[in-house]
Each structure stands twice: as structure tokens, then as C-alpha cells.
Amino acid sequence: MRRAARFAPALILVGLALTGPYLAPHSIDAPVTMPYDAPGTAPLGGDQLGRDVLSRLLAGGQELLLTSVVIALVVTVVAAFLGALAALRPTVGRIIDRAADTAMLLPTVLALLLVALSWPGGGRYALIAAAVVTGVPYAVRVVSGAAAPIAASGYVEAAAAGGEHLWHLIWRELLPNLRATCLNLFGLRFVAAVYIVATAGFLEIGPQPPEANWALMIRENGAGILLNPWAVIAPSLAIGALTVAVQFAADALAPRPGRAT
């Protein structure tokens, strides 16, 4: 029951983000009130063009959610494979670790700008590529550290001595014992992905106006925050609530000693 309660916020917010575009009472790009109008005619007021803030809020989370999930999933899967490989093959592991250490020197925002300049029409694919490239190095170091003691355990060494293939050792011996690490890592990478996607939206890398996007809403309506603060506060709260809820859900899925799974 307690575990289910930790899933509920994530399920509700994810459901709202996915179905929000179909629940919006008004078009996302049609003015319905005065610019920065306070709540009244529109429940959350109007944005800088008089568009309904509530409609844009409902429509603005779907892409952020899906893009962040793809980034977190790709980063976790790639890091799990490379981390397990690094633990089983120390020579390869040293190369992977040094490459990861070097890649971590690249700031995320700089990577976003570099990708945006070199791939101007890339859109969300360029954003995903930049987020994966900057996210995998951190994740690999986490997984390889957790996988090292498992790779040195007796049953893995026995399987290796018995001639089991490398893929079998990774897939059947290491990864099942790294489930808690990978689930927690997915939650952390989702939070990081939301941060990256929101930052890209704030910098107008990826989604472009007049598209409804929570990060774009914050940027677009910052100048009128004193007139209608809900145009900025509502998408900010939505981003924060979504990241915390998904993190709680991922943590609830991770097995704990003494907790039934």
C-alpha cells in the first residue's frame, strides 16, 4: 500500500502530461484574453500574447516527458552495458573509464550549444544526442563501480571459467544483480534529462515558439511575472513535481534488502 502510494503521483502526472493536449479547453496558439491578464476569464490567466495559460500548461508537458524518458532510458541502457563490460574486462574498463573521465569535462550547456550549431535542423534528435553524450559518462562510472564487486564474485568467475560467453555474463550474471542500481540510475538520469530538456527549451534549442512547452512558457512569460505570475509559476511547479514524482517511483521500484520485490 505504501509502495503504491509512491507510484500514484507519478502515474497521475504522467497521465496528465500524456493526455493534456486532448484536455486543453482552448487552442494553444489562439488569444483568449488580454496579454498577461490575471486569472478570471482564463483559470490561470493569459500569457504574453493573451493565450490561455492552462491550455498551454496541459499541452506543454507531453514532449518534455517523452524526450526525457527516451534520454534516461538510452543513457541507462548504454551505461549498464558499458559498465558491466568494464567490470568484466579490466583492460577495456580502463579505456572506458578514461574516456568517461575526459567526456565529463564537457559542460552540458556547451554540448547543447555545440550540437545546435553543428546540427541546426536536428531539433529534438539533436537535443537527445547531446543529452546522451553528456549523460553516459557519469552513468558508466556509477554502474562500473557497482558491477566491479559482482564481477569478482565466485559465481561469475565460475561462469567465466566454464566458458560462458561475455554477453551471457553481462545479461544473465551481472545485470540482474544491478537492477537496483539501474532503477535508481534511471530515476536520476530522468531528473537530469528534464533539466537538460528544460534548459534547451529555455535557450530555444529544440522546441521553438509558438510550440507549447513548459520551459518555453517560463522563458516567454518571465517579463510579465508581476502581472500574471501563474504563467511562470505553473510550468515551474509542473517541471518540479514531475521530476520528484518520477524519482520517487523509480526509487520505489528498486529492490531493498529485506523488502519484498
Among the ranges given (30-39, 52-61, 211-220), the one the predictor scored with the smallest mean pLDDT: 211-220
d(CA 216, CA 218): 5
Residue reference for cell 574486462 = 89
* Res 233 pLDDT > 90: yes
Query: What is the average pLDDT across 146-160?
Result: 87
Angle of the 179-202 helix axis to the 214-221 helix axis, nearest 10: 30
Average pLDDT over the chain, rounded to an integer: 86
Q: Give pLDDT tens digits for 71-118.
A: 999 999 999 999 999 999 989 989 998 998 888 888 888 888 888 778
pTM of the predicted structure, to 2 decimals: 0.83
- Residue 92, number of CB atoms within 10 A of its CB: 13
Distances (CA, A) of 214 to 8, 181, 202, 239: 22, 30, 9, 7
Share of the chain above pLDDT 70, in %: 95
pLDDT bucket at 139, cuts 50 / 70 / 90: very high
Going by pLDDT thresholds of 50, 70 and 90, the confidence category of residue 1 is low
